[in-house]
Amino acid sequence: MSEIVAGARPTRMELIALRRRRRIAQRGGDLLREKLDALMIEFFQFAREITALRQKTQDLLFQAYEKFTEAQMLMGFTRVEETSLTVQDRFDVDASTRNVIGVSIPYVSVKLQALEGFPYSMIGSSAKLDEAVALMTEAVKNVVELSAAEAAIRRLAEAISATKRRVNSLENIVVPRIENTIRYIEMSLQERSREDFFRLKRIKTRLEEEDEETVTVPQISS
């Protein structure tokens, strides 16, 4: 016989308890499969979001580097480098988490701090530099969102893998083991019932034979 639940005793109480455990395990498997389906939906949504964000970020960076190159041609490398050193830090990153089907997902947003005046000196700068800075600012926002989405999809992938392992464990180990044990106990109880039946039948036959012997004993007159 296949593997059975350790310590299981062939009693009716054990059989009732195992049938209850099987129902709970099967219901748990159904819930885990529903969770797995929901996690897969979220995973593919993030995958589509990442694809779009990655493409948008690459386009913004490409355009920004083009504008920086044009600004460098107009202003010279040294002037562009000096201007970059005077730029103030404008980015404020707000990181938090949100719960998605029991999985903690990182959420990051980027806000631009309000500055007094322009972020760098306008003297000697080119409009191409302004365009490059605007494009790079948007690219930074997208990079942050992309990193958060990639972290989220990694956590979802881990949750999917763990849920799959639990589903497989229930379907291929826990439930079959309980069912094997139920069959083992049912067979044991049936065998015991047959043994009791034949034992009682033998006892009945013996009692009937003893009664017959008592009846057939001749009476001795005085």
Strands (E) in the chain, as ranges, are: 91-100, 103-112
The letter for the amino acid at 189 is L
Q: Is residue 187 part of a domain?
A: no
Q: 148 Cβ partners below 8 Å, 6+ apart?
A: 95, 106, 107, 108
Distances, alpha carbon 186 to alpha carbons 2, 25, 88, in Å: 15, 20, 78
Q: What is the pTM of this model?
A: 0.71
Count Cα atoms within 13 angstroms, Cβ side, for 58. 6
218 pLDDT band (50/70/90 cuts)? low
Q: Is residue 196 part of a domain?
A: no
Query: Burial level of 129, CB count in 10 A (0-12/13-18/19+)?
Result: buried
The encoded tokens of residue 18 equal 């195992």
Q: Is residue 4 part of a domain?
A: no
Q: How many residues does the chain have?
A: 222
| Whether 35 contacts 165, CB under 8 Å | no
Q: Convert the pLDDT of each residue in 165-210 to its tens digit.
A: 999 999 899 999 999 989 888 888 888 878 777 778 788 777 776 7
Q: Is residue 170 part of a domain?
A: yes
Q: How many domains, in total, are found in the chain?
A: 1
Strand partners, 111: 92
Structural domain of 74: 12-180
Q: Is residue 139 part of a domain?
A: yes
Q: Is residue 208 part of a domain?
A: no
Interatomic CA distance for residues 72 and 58, integer angstroms: 21
Q: Convert the pLDDT of each residue in 9-28 to its tens digit.
A: 888 888 889 899 999 999 99
Query: What's the CATH number where 50 sits?
Result: 1.10.287.3240
